[in-house]
Amino acid sequence: MNVRLLNYTKNPDKVCAAAAQSCYSEKGAGELFDTTADDRAEKMITKVVGMGHLSVVEHAYFTFSVEGVSRSLTHQLVRHRIASYSQQSQRYVGMAKAEYVLPPSVAGDDGARMKYTQAMDAAWKAYRELAELVPKEDARYVLPNACHTNITVTMNARELWHMFRLRCCRRAQWEIRMMAWKMLEEAKKVAPILFENAGPGCFAGPCPEGEYSCGKPYRRGAMPSDDELLVESAKPRS
Ligand SMILES: Cc1cc2nc3c(=O)[nH]c(=O)nc-3n(C[C@H](O)[C@H](O)[C@H](O)COP(=O)(O)OP(=O)(O)OC[C@H]3O[C@@H](n4cnc5c(N)ncnc54)[C@H](O)[C@@H]3O)c2cc1C
Protein backbone atom coordinates (compact mmCIF):
# COMPACT_ATOMS: atom_id res chain seq x y z
CA MET A 1 0.00 0.00 0.00
CA ASN A 2 1.23 3.45 -0.86
CA VAL A 3 -0.45 6.53 0.60
CA ARG A 4 0.76 9.92 -0.55
CA LEU A 5 -0.56 13.39 0.19
CA LEU A 6 -0.61 15.00 -3.25
CA ASN A 7 -1.89 18.44 -2.42
CA TYR A 8 -3.61 20.45 0.29
CA THR A 9 -4.92 23.89 1.13
CA LYS A 10 -1.92 26.15 1.65
CA ASN A 11 -1.43 27.10 5.35
CA PRO A 12 -4.31 24.85 6.45
CA ASP A 13 -3.97 25.59 10.17
CA LYS A 14 -3.86 29.35 9.65
CA VAL A 15 -6.72 29.44 7.13
CA CYS A 16 -9.04 27.62 9.55
CA ALA A 17 -7.88 29.70 12.52
CA ALA A 18 -8.50 32.95 10.63
CA ALA A 19 -11.96 31.74 9.59
CA ALA A 20 -12.73 30.79 13.19
CA GLN A 21 -11.48 34.10 14.58
CA SER A 22 -13.42 36.08 11.99
CA CYS A 23 -16.67 34.85 13.58
CA TYR A 24 -15.80 36.73 16.79
CA SER A 25 -13.90 39.72 15.45
CA GLU A 26 -14.60 43.05 13.84
CA LYS A 27 -11.71 42.26 11.50
CA GLY A 28 -12.05 40.16 8.38
CA ALA A 29 -10.35 36.79 7.87
CA GLY A 30 -7.85 38.46 5.48
CA GLU A 31 -6.39 40.73 8.14
CA LEU A 32 -6.59 38.01 10.79
CA PHE A 33 -4.75 35.59 8.49
CA ASP A 34 -1.91 38.09 8.06
CA THR A 35 -1.61 38.94 11.75
CA THR A 36 -2.38 35.68 13.57
CA ALA A 37 0.66 34.08 15.19
CA ASP A 38 0.97 30.28 15.19
CA ASP A 39 0.32 29.93 18.93
CA ARG A 40 -2.84 32.03 18.62
CA ALA A 41 -3.99 29.87 15.68
CA GLU A 42 -3.44 26.76 17.79
CA LYS A 43 -5.50 28.15 20.68
CA MET A 44 -8.27 29.23 18.34
CA ILE A 45 -8.58 25.87 16.58
CA THR A 46 -8.41 23.90 19.83
CA LYS A 47 -11.11 26.12 21.30
CA VAL A 48 -13.59 26.01 18.42
CA VAL A 49 -13.07 22.31 17.68
CA GLY A 50 -13.56 21.59 21.41
CA MET A 51 -16.83 23.53 21.28
CA GLY A 52 -18.00 21.43 18.33
CA HIS A 53 -17.89 24.44 15.99
CA LEU A 54 -16.50 22.14 13.29
CA SER A 55 -17.56 23.99 10.15
CA VAL A 56 -14.44 26.16 10.40
CA VAL A 57 -12.18 23.21 9.65
CA GLU A 58 -14.05 22.55 6.41
CA HIS A 59 -11.92 25.29 4.80
CA ALA A 60 -8.90 23.00 4.54
CA TYR A 61 -8.82 20.32 1.82
CA PHE A 62 -6.42 17.40 1.43
CA THR A 63 -5.93 15.18 -1.65
CA PHE A 64 -4.37 11.72 -1.26
CA SER A 65 -3.32 9.07 -3.73
CA VAL A 66 -3.98 5.61 -2.29
CA GLU A 67 -2.31 2.93 -4.40
CA GLY A 68 -2.04 -0.85 -4.41
CA VAL A 69 -5.02 -1.48 -2.13
CA SER A 70 -7.88 -3.93 -2.52
CA ARG A 71 -11.32 -3.21 -3.86
CA SER A 72 -12.58 -4.33 -0.41
CA LEU A 73 -10.84 -1.29 1.02
CA THR A 74 -12.12 1.17 -1.59
CA HIS A 75 -15.66 -0.17 -1.20
CA GLN A 76 -15.47 0.76 2.49
CA LEU A 77 -13.74 4.09 1.83
CA VAL A 78 -16.32 5.40 -0.63
CA ARG A 79 -19.05 5.01 2.00
CA HIS A 80 -17.63 8.29 3.33
CA ARG A 81 -19.80 10.66 1.35
CA ILE A 82 -18.38 14.11 2.05
CA ALA A 83 -15.47 13.51 -0.31
CA SER A 84 -14.42 13.34 -3.94
CA TYR A 85 -13.04 10.16 -5.50
CA SER A 86 -11.40 9.05 -8.77
CA GLN A 87 -10.74 5.31 -9.02
CA GLN A 88 -8.82 3.28 -11.59
CA SER A 89 -11.34 1.84 -14.06
CA GLN A 90 -11.49 -1.89 -14.75
CA ARG A 91 -13.38 -1.04 -17.95
CA TYR A 92 -10.50 0.91 -19.50
CA VAL A 93 -7.48 -0.59 -17.75
CA GLY A 94 -6.71 -4.24 -18.49
CA MET A 95 -6.19 -6.43 -15.42
CA ALA A 96 -4.23 -9.20 -17.15
CA LYS A 97 -1.46 -9.11 -14.51
CA ALA A 98 -2.53 -10.86 -11.30
CA GLU A 99 -1.97 -8.16 -8.67
CA TYR A 100 -3.83 -8.60 -5.43
CA VAL A 101 -3.75 -8.02 -1.68
CA LEU A 102 -2.79 -10.91 0.60
CA PRO A 103 -4.37 -10.39 4.05
CA PRO A 104 -1.95 -11.03 6.94
CA SER A 105 -4.18 -13.76 8.39
CA VAL A 106 -3.95 -15.64 5.06
CA ALA A 107 -0.23 -14.98 4.65
CA GLY A 108 0.40 -16.43 8.10
CA ASP A 109 -1.37 -19.75 7.52
CA ASP A 110 0.11 -22.20 4.99
CA GLY A 111 -3.20 -23.94 4.22
CA ALA A 112 -5.12 -20.69 3.86
CA ARG A 113 -2.41 -19.16 1.69
CA MET A 114 -2.48 -22.15 -0.69
CA LYS A 115 -6.28 -22.05 -1.04
CA TYR A 116 -6.15 -18.29 -1.55
CA THR A 117 -3.46 -18.26 -4.23
CA GLN A 118 -5.20 -21.12 -6.07
CA ALA A 119 -8.43 -19.07 -6.10
CA MET A 120 -6.55 -16.00 -7.37
CA ASP A 121 -4.82 -18.00 -10.12
CA ALA A 122 -8.15 -19.47 -11.22
CA ALA A 123 -9.86 -16.06 -11.23
CA TRP A 124 -7.12 -14.45 -13.33
CA LYS A 125 -6.98 -17.41 -15.72
CA ALA A 126 -10.72 -17.05 -16.30
CA TYR A 127 -10.34 -13.26 -16.68
CA ARG A 128 -7.64 -13.54 -19.35
CA GLU A 129 -9.63 -16.16 -21.29
CA LEU A 130 -12.85 -14.15 -21.06
CA ALA A 131 -11.08 -10.92 -22.09
CA GLU A 132 -10.34 -12.66 -25.42
CA LEU A 133 -14.04 -13.34 -25.92
CA VAL A 134 -15.93 -10.38 -24.40
CA PRO A 135 -15.18 -6.73 -23.49
CA LYS A 136 -12.92 -6.13 -20.43
CA GLU A 137 -15.88 -4.52 -18.67
CA ASP A 138 -17.65 -7.89 -18.65
CA ALA A 139 -14.60 -10.11 -18.13
CA ARG A 140 -13.84 -8.18 -14.91
CA TYR A 141 -16.86 -9.69 -13.16
CA VAL A 142 -14.77 -12.75 -12.31
CA LEU A 143 -12.07 -10.70 -10.55
CA PRO A 144 -11.96 -10.84 -6.73
CA ASN A 145 -12.30 -8.14 -4.05
CA ALA A 146 -8.56 -8.62 -3.43
CA CYS A 147 -7.73 -7.11 -6.84
CA HIS A 148 -5.30 -4.17 -6.63
CA THR A 149 -6.70 -0.73 -7.33
CA ASN A 150 -5.68 2.92 -7.06
CA ILE A 151 -7.91 5.71 -5.83
CA THR A 152 -7.54 9.46 -5.45
CA VAL A 153 -9.47 10.93 -2.53
CA THR A 154 -10.08 14.50 -1.49
CA MET A 155 -11.63 15.33 1.88
CA ASN A 156 -11.82 18.40 4.02
CA ALA A 157 -10.38 18.33 7.54
CA ARG A 158 -13.78 17.82 9.16
CA GLU A 159 -14.50 14.70 7.10
CA LEU A 160 -10.96 13.45 7.65
CA TRP A 161 -11.45 13.81 11.40
CA HIS A 162 -14.67 11.80 11.13
CA MET A 163 -13.10 9.15 8.90
CA PHE A 164 -10.07 8.83 11.23
CA ARG A 165 -12.40 8.41 14.23
CA LEU A 166 -14.08 5.42 12.58
CA ARG A 167 -11.29 3.91 10.53
CA CYS A 168 -8.23 4.27 12.81
CA CYS A 169 -10.27 2.26 15.34
CA ARG A 170 -9.24 -1.36 15.98
CA ARG A 171 -12.79 -2.36 15.02
CA ALA A 172 -12.15 -1.20 11.44
CA GLN A 173 -10.64 -3.78 9.09
CA TRP A 174 -6.81 -3.92 9.12
CA GLU A 175 -6.39 -2.66 5.55
CA ILE A 176 -8.54 0.48 5.76
CA ARG A 177 -7.18 1.02 9.30
CA MET A 178 -3.65 1.02 7.92
CA MET A 179 -4.65 3.46 5.17
CA ALA A 180 -6.36 5.78 7.69
CA TRP A 181 -3.32 5.88 9.99
CA LYS A 182 -1.03 6.57 7.02
CA MET A 183 -3.31 9.40 5.88
CA LEU A 184 -3.34 10.83 9.41
CA GLU A 185 0.46 10.66 9.54
CA GLU A 186 0.70 12.59 6.24
CA ALA A 187 -1.95 15.15 7.23
CA LYS A 188 -0.23 15.82 10.56
CA LYS A 189 3.00 16.75 8.80
CA VAL A 190 1.35 19.70 7.03
CA ALA A 191 -1.42 20.59 9.50
CA PRO A 192 -0.10 19.69 12.95
CA ILE A 193 -2.60 21.87 14.78
CA LEU A 194 -5.71 20.76 12.88
CA PHE A 195 -4.89 17.08 13.32
CA GLU A 196 -3.15 17.18 16.70
CA ASN A 197 -5.92 15.25 18.44
CA ALA A 198 -7.37 13.45 15.41
CA GLY A 199 -7.48 9.67 15.52
CA PRO A 200 -9.70 6.81 16.70
CA GLY A 201 -12.67 7.48 18.96
CA CYS A 202 -10.66 6.34 22.02
CA PHE A 203 -8.35 9.38 21.59
CA ALA A 204 -11.22 11.64 22.65
CA GLY A 205 -12.51 9.72 25.66
CA PRO A 206 -14.31 6.49 26.47
CA CYS A 207 -14.67 4.09 23.53
CA PRO A 208 -17.75 5.01 21.48
CA GLU A 209 -18.17 1.34 20.46
CA GLY A 210 -19.73 0.53 23.86
CA GLU A 211 -20.23 -3.23 24.33
CA TYR A 212 -18.27 -3.83 21.10
CA SER A 213 -15.20 -2.09 22.48
CA CYS A 214 -11.92 -3.96 21.99
CA GLY A 215 -10.82 -2.80 25.45
CA LYS A 216 -7.41 -1.75 24.15
CA PRO A 217 -7.48 2.03 23.64
CA TYR A 218 -4.71 3.53 21.52
CA ARG A 219 -2.35 5.91 23.30
CA ARG A 220 -3.45 9.43 22.38
CA GLY A 221 -1.23 11.02 19.77
CA ALA A 222 0.85 7.86 19.24
CA MET A 223 1.26 6.47 15.72
CA PRO A 224 1.15 2.64 15.66
CA SER A 225 3.81 0.73 13.70
CA ASP A 226 2.93 -1.25 10.53
CA ASP A 227 3.30 -4.49 12.54
CA GLU A 228 0.72 -3.26 15.04
CA LEU A 229 -1.64 -2.37 12.19
CA LEU A 230 -1.28 -5.62 10.28
CA VAL A 231 -3.55 -7.47 12.66
CA GLU A 232 -7.14 -8.59 12.28
CA SER A 233 -9.91 -6.20 13.26
CA ALA A 234 -10.95 -6.46 16.90
CA LYS A 235 -13.95 -8.69 17.57
CA PRO A 236 -16.55 -7.60 20.11
CA ARG A 237 -15.60 -8.61 23.65
CA SER A 238 -17.74 -11.53 24.87
C1 LIG B 1 -16.21 -0.73 12.02
C2 LIG B 1 -17.21 -0.42 10.94
C3 LIG B 1 -18.09 -1.40 10.54
C4 LIG B 1 -19.03 -1.13 9.53
N5 LIG B 1 -19.89 -2.11 9.14
C6 LIG B 1 -20.81 -1.86 8.18
C7 LIG B 1 -21.75 -2.86 7.77
O8 LIG B 1 -21.75 -3.99 8.27
N9 LIG B 1 -22.63 -2.55 6.78
C10 LIG B 1 -22.68 -1.31 6.21
O11 LIG B 1 -23.53 -1.07 5.34
N12 LIG B 1 -21.82 -0.34 6.59
C13 LIG B 1 -20.90 -0.58 7.55
N14 LIG B 1 -20.02 0.41 7.91
C15 LIG B 1 -20.07 1.71 7.21
C16 LIG B 1 -20.82 2.77 8.04
O17 LIG B 1 -22.15 2.38 8.29
C18 LIG B 1 -20.80 4.13 7.31
O19 LIG B 1 -21.47 3.99 6.07
C20 LIG B 1 -19.41 4.63 7.03
O21 LIG B 1 -18.60 4.48 8.15
C22 LIG B 1 -19.48 6.11 6.62
O23 LIG B 1 -19.69 6.89 7.75
P24 LIG B 1 -20.82 7.98 7.95
O25 LIG B 1 -22.08 7.55 7.29
O26 LIG B 1 -20.88 8.39 9.38
O27 LIG B 1 -20.24 9.25 7.35
P28 LIG B 1 -19.87 10.01 6.03
O29 LIG B 1 -20.53 9.53 4.81
O30 LIG B 1 -18.39 10.06 6.08
O31 LIG B 1 -20.49 11.41 6.39
C32 LIG B 1 -20.01 12.20 7.47
C33 LIG B 1 -21.16 12.69 8.31
O34 LIG B 1 -21.97 13.55 7.51
C35 LIG B 1 -23.32 13.39 7.90
N36 LIG B 1 -24.09 12.87 6.75
C37 LIG B 1 -23.58 12.40 5.58
N38 LIG B 1 -24.57 12.03 4.75
C39 LIG B 1 -25.73 12.29 5.42
C40 LIG B 1 -27.09 12.10 5.11
N41 LIG B 1 -27.50 11.59 3.94
N42 LIG B 1 -28.00 12.46 6.02
C43 LIG B 1 -27.63 12.98 7.21
N44 LIG B 1 -26.35 13.15 7.59
C45 LIG B 1 -25.42 12.82 6.70
C46 LIG B 1 -23.36 12.42 9.07
O47 LIG B 1 -23.26 13.14 10.26
C48 LIG B 1 -22.10 11.60 8.84
O49 LIG B 1 -21.61 10.99 10.03
C50 LIG B 1 -19.08 0.16 8.92
C51 LIG B 1 -18.19 1.13 9.35
C52 LIG B 1 -17.24 0.86 10.33
C53 LIG B 1 -16.29 1.94 10.76
Tell me: do 79 and 169 sit in the same domain. Answer: yes
Q: Distance between CA 101 and CA 118 in Å, rounded?
A: 14
- Domain extent, residue 172, equals 2-85+150-229
The alpha-helical segments, DSSP class H, found in 100-173 are 104-107, 110-133, 136-139, 157-167
Q: Which of 131, 146, 161 is the last residue of a domain?
A: 146
Partners of 3 in the β-ladder:
66
pLDDT tens for 57-83 read 999 999 999 999 999 999 999 999 999
- What single letter denotes the amino acid at residue 136? K
Count other Cβ atoms within 10 Å, centred on residue 132: 7
For residue 139, tell me if it sits in a domain: yes
Tell me: do 158 and 74 sit in the same domain. Answer: yes
Whose C-alpha lies nearest to ligand 1, atom 8?
76
- Lowest-pLDDT choice from 107-116, 170-179, 198-207, 228-237: 228-237
Count other Cβ atoms within 10 Å, centred on residue 13: 24
The CATH number of whichever domain residue 18 belongs to comes to 3.30.1360.170
Given strand 148-156, what is the order of strands in its sheet?
2-8, 61-70, 148-156, 83-87
pLDDT tens for 144-203 read 999 999 999 999 999 999 999 999 999 999 999 999 999 999 999 999 999 988 999 988
Tell me: do 199 and 176 sit in the same domain. Answer: yes
Question: What Å distances lie between residue 221 and 114, 185, 204, 205, CA to CA?
Answer: 39, 10, 10, 13
Give me the mean pLDDT over the 89-111 stretch: 95
Q: What is the pLDDT of residue 66?
A: 98
Q: Which of 146, 165, 180 is the last residue of a domain?
A: 146
Distance between Cα 206 and ligand 1 center (Å): 20
Q: Distance between CA 108 and CA 89 in Å, rounded?
A: 31
> By CB neighbour count within 10 A (0-12 exposed, 13-18 middle, 19+ buried), where does 16 fall?
buried
Q: Distance between CA 98 and CA 123 in Å, rounded?
A: 9
Q: What is the pLDDT of residue 236?
A: 61
User: Can you tell me which atom of ligand 1 is nearest the CA of 83?
Assistant: 30
Q: What is the pLDDT of residue 237?
A: 58
Tell me: do 74 and 171 sit in the same domain. Answer: yes
Q: Distance between CA 175 and CA 74 in Å, rounded?
A: 10
The answer, yes or no, to whether residue 238 has pLDDT greater than 60, is: no
* Pocket perturbation via mutation, ligand 1, pick of 75, 78, 79 by most ligand atoms within 8 A of CB: 79
Residue pair 97/117 in contact by the 8 Å Cβ criterion:
no
Distance between Cα 148 and ligand 1 center (Å): 24
Give me the mean pLDDT over the 4-19 stretch: 95
For residue 238, tell me if it sits in a domain: no
Q: Distance between CA 99 and CA 25 in Å, rounded?
A: 55
Tell me: do 219 and 154 sit in the same domain. Answer: yes
For residue 205, tell me if it sits in a domain: yes
Counting every residue, how long is the chain? 238
Tell me: do 16 and 123 sit in the same domain. Answer: no
Distance between Cα 21 and ligand 1 center (Å): 31
For residue 181, the SS3 value is helix
Tell me: do 81 and 99 sit in the same domain. Answer: no
Distance between Cα 80 and ligand 1 center (Å): 6
For residue 62, the SS3 value is strand
For residue 237, tell me if it sits in a domain: no
Tell me: do 16 and 66 sit in the same domain. Answer: yes
Strands, E assignment, 71-220: 83-87, 148-156
Tell me: do 44 and 138 sit in the same domain. Answer: no
Q: Is 91 a known active-site residue?
A: no
Checking phi first, is residue 148 left (phi over 0); if not, alpha (psi -120 to 50) or beta? beta
Tell me: do 59 and 127 sit in the same domain. Answer: no
Ligand 1 neighbours (beta carbon < 6 A): 79-82, 159, 162, 166-167, 171-172
Q: Which of 111, 146, 181 is the last residue of a domain?
A: 146
Bigger pLDDT: 219 vs 93: 93
Q: Distance between CA 183 and CA 193 in Å, rounded?
A: 15
For residue 79, tell me if it sits in a domain: yes
For residue 104, tell me if it sits in a domain: yes
Number of domains in the chain: 2
For residue 235, tell me if it sits in a domain: no
Q: Considering the candidates 71, 140, 167, 171, report the single residue annotated as catalytic.
A: 167
Whose C-alpha lies nearest to ligand 1, atom 39?
81
User: Can you tell me which atom of ligand 1 is nearest the CA of 171?
Assistant: 1
Q: Distance between CA 155 and CA 60 in Å, rounded?
A: 9
Distance between Cα 79 and ligand 1 center (Å): 6
For residue 142, tell me if it sits in a domain: yes
Q: Distance between CA 87 and CA 65 in Å, rounded?
A: 10
Tell me: do 215 and 97 sit in the same domain. Answer: no
Tell me: do 186 and 201 sit in the same domain. Answer: yes
